[in-house]
Structure 1
Amino acid sequence: MTIEDIALQMTPGIGVKGAVHLLELFGDARSIFAAPQEELVGRAALREETARQIVRRKGFAAAEKELAHCRRNSITAIASTDPEYPALLREIPDYPHVLYLMGDTAALSARCISMVGTRTATPYGQVMCNRLAEGLAAQVPGSCIVSGLAFGIDVAAHRAALDNGIPTVAVLANPLPEVMPAQHTAVAHDILDHGGALVTELHSQTRQNGTAYLARNRIIAGLSAGCVVIESPDSGGSLVTAQYADDYNRAVMAVPGRVTDRMSAGTNHLIRNRKAQLVLTAGDIVRELMWDFGTAPALLRQKPATPQLTPDEAGLLGCFRTDAPLTVEALTESCGLNPGELATLLVGLELAGAVRQLPGNRYMKLI
């Protein structure tokens, strides 16, 4: 972490995606501020005024103030170029360049699963939070539950994690060290006392305008290998989180409920429309995320020898640019093959041990 990292966040005209764009071009914040104005305009396609703000280092005074605030309040600032930054979060296209954190940084890089849902949780939703957390504690060493510390399912998920000895991460829509809602301050302290963390992308000088909640949901989804919607009506923030997870090629799961229960309408529709895998137990989560291979799968299974592929199969395998699973629709769009040709090549890749089919008609690269 350098002062340039925070200054980039403080520079007028540079938003989240603008920072990602500049970091992809220049590699780190220090190199961005070292670039001449002509390069910022020409190579990075910035507006003249925005480039001038960078060259004149307009964000540095505010960054110095922010560093002092972090020191006073025992807040850790982590840049996306730091080794401690969670790798899963860095994969999303709109990752926050700087995270502000209190607690254990390692919790962000554990086997994270997000649990989200309605603010008006029912006893059924709270029971399911407890059952899933209990099962994860028993089956997945090193797991971590991520949520937003809001009323309802969010805080129930955090409490269930704490009750079962699982670290939990609360992603806040406000600057630290404050906790919102204030009613959950005691839970936040418990999270810190039991190996978890409080995280936000908002610095202390952020102007609160009520738009941070939906943006916060992308971080919840981005930190996690999968997202479980416990309860939700037909609309709400938890469904937005599920959509973010789907956009990021993360597993989306949902707990079913009675068709007459309004608080299960959203989860039931996710399952009916094949937008989410049905979850009844923690074992369903474990299998969906392939966590059943053990604590360190790379150590338990030897990497298979490189298979002999046809040129067409190798070309299709090249469409898997990361280890994240891809849907058939995404592969079709990426490779331009018709459904019949794609199905034939996928069978060949499966037989060669190069890919594995997952629930939801998704495929994961294995080599």
Structure 2
Amino acid sequence: MAYPELLYQIALTQVPQIGDVHARILLQHYGSASAVFGAKMSELEKLEGIGTVRARALRGFSDFAALEKELHFIERYSVNTYFLTDPSYPKRLLQCYDPPVLLFGKGDIDLNAQRLVAVVGTRHPTDYGRRWTETFVEALAPLGVTIVSGLAFGIDAAAHKAALKHNIPTIGVVGHGLARVYPQEHTAMARNMVRAGGGLLTEFLSGTDPDKHNFPLRNRIVAGLSDCVVVVETAEKGGSMITARVADGYNRDVFAVPGRVGDKQAGGCNLLIRTNKAQLLTSAEEFVEAMGWNERTVATPAVQQKSLFTDLSEPEQQLLALLSDDQSIHIDELNLRSGLRTSEVAALLLELELKGAVRSLPGKQYKLA
């Protein structure tokens, strides 16, 4: 029986033994979730990183009908979906080694906005921490940023509220399904975030509870979705430390606001600074200078760049439309998004580089010339 492609996409996230890294391998080879499930056992087990056990798990998966309730939820509540190969999938997450295969969003969220700043911290901040957060977020308002956080009590909530107050889009990445808001006290705030051009984002199915083990997974999305992470106050073993360390592993800029020696809420920030895992941050002005955001810039749409090169083939134009001049893209991402063979993408990129349309960077990264 054939199902809608979205159902196959949801199913791919539910197959035992198939994690995000394995799913990415499969999609790079087969191009779509339905093609993955339609693949032969003999083909699957020969794929590097898949093998017999995972191939059997894929071929043996049969819970498609049970997942149809997710399709109904998505349609009924106007949930947006972002699959790994979709053009709307967050480009920054694709730079990470373990991007979630499928994301669910509530609200008209621009996950590829020009500037995304994560602001995180303790659930039990001081008054100073709350005030610093609001002052910092307010100062970013003229720069066209989007504020990302985790919708939790404390610094997360302070960041979201400050963004709403100063008309800045804000995204709450949550560790549960979209059938609820956790904590419940933030339901009204979440609704206002959706209305104000931001919203909620999760990788979990609609009925998933906010279990403890979900939050480190949530934290990696906060880190990977953003250009940088700002830690305002956190203990040495706080959840924000996970976000900061993951962000550092993703080569994101990490900033930490220092606190008084001996203050529990400042222990994590001071540790990040002391171990060179974060840049010391005392003001929004320092942050803007460090990020090179002194002047507001407008990205040049790829479609405008295409018009400068009228002698391109259709596949070349297809690749060019996926590139931008302000952010590089890895060749694996171009593979996924274009649907072209790996060898074909490599050859086309070489042609485009010779024509002066694209520029290659270290690490198999490409951007518009």
Same fold, TM exceeding 0.5? yes
For residues 10 and 153 of structure 1, do their structure 2 counterparts lie closer, same or farther at Cα, with a shift above 3 Å needed? same
C-alpha deviation, 1:162, in angstroms: 0.8
Identity %: 42
Counterpart residue identity of residue 122, structure 1: T
Corresponding position: 1:72 with 2:71? no
The answer for the alignment partner of 1:15 in structure 2 is 19
Q: Given the alignment, which residue of 183, 190, 193 partners 2:185?
A: 183
Counterpart residue identity of residue 239, structure 1: M
CA distance in 2, matches of 1:30, 1:109: 30
C-alpha deviation, 1:167, in angstroms: 0.5
Q: Secondary structure at the match of 1:105?
A: coil
C-alpha deviation, 1:201, in angstroms: 0.3
Asked if the contact 2:272/2:278 (under 8 Å) is kept, the reply is yes
Q: Secondary structure at the match of 2:168?
A: coil
The answer for the alignment partner of 1:295 in structure 2 is 297
1:120-143 deviation line (CA, Å, top 9, x unaligned): 1111111111111111003x12x1
C-alpha deviation, 1:18, in angstroms: 2.3
CA distance in 2, matches of 1:31, 1:285: 45
TM-score normalised to the size of structure 2? 0.76
CA distance in 2, matches of 1:120, 1:236: 11
Q: Which runs of 4+ in 1 moved over 6 A?
A: none
Corresponding position: 1:26 with 2:23? no
For residues 275 and 366 of structure 1, do their structure 2 counterparts lie closer, same or farther at Cα, with a shift above 3 Å needed? farther
Asked if the contact 1:146/1:171 (under 8 Å) is kept, the reply is yes
Counterpart residue identity of residue 8, structure 1: L
TM-score normalised to the size of structure 1? 0.77
CA distance in 2, matches of 1:226, 1:202: 24
C-alpha deviation, 1:266, in angstroms: 1.3
CA distance in 2, matches of 1:18, 1:59: 19
**Number of aligned residues:** 306
C-alpha deviation, 1:65, in angstroms: 2.1
Q: Report the RMSD for the aligned CA atoms in angstroms.
A: 2.5
Asked if the contact 1:168/1:191 (under 8 Å) is kept, the reply is yes
The answer for the alignment partner of 1:2 in structure 2 is 6
Corresponding position: 1:118 with 2:86? no
C-alpha deviation, 1:45, in angstroms: 4.6
Q: Secondary structure at the match of 2:294?
A: helix
The answer for the alignment partner of 1:314 in structure 2 is none
Asked if the contact 2:89/2:111 (under 8 Å) is kept, the reply is no
C-alpha deviation, 1:59, in angstroms: 4.1
Counterpart residue identity of residue 50, structure 2: L
Asked if the contact 2:88/2:111 (under 8 Å) is kept, the reply is no
1:255-298 deviation line (CA, Å, top 9, x unaligned): 11222422112112211222111112222222222222432266
C-alpha deviation, 1:23, in angstroms: 2.1
Corresponding position: 1:102 with 2:106? yes
The answer for the alignment partner of 2:280 in structure 1 is 278
CA distance in 1, matches of 2:251, 2:300: 21
**Is there any run of 5+ residues in structure 2 with no aligned partner, and where?**
306-326, 330-359, 362-366
CA distance in 1, matches of 2:44, 2:159: 45
Matches within 5 A, 1:110-189: 110-138=114-142, 140-141=143-144, 143-189=145-191
C-alpha deviation, 1:203, in angstroms: 0.6
Corresponding position: 1:62 with 2:66? yes
Q: Secondary structure at the match of 1:20?
A: helix
Matches within 5 A, 1:303-318: none
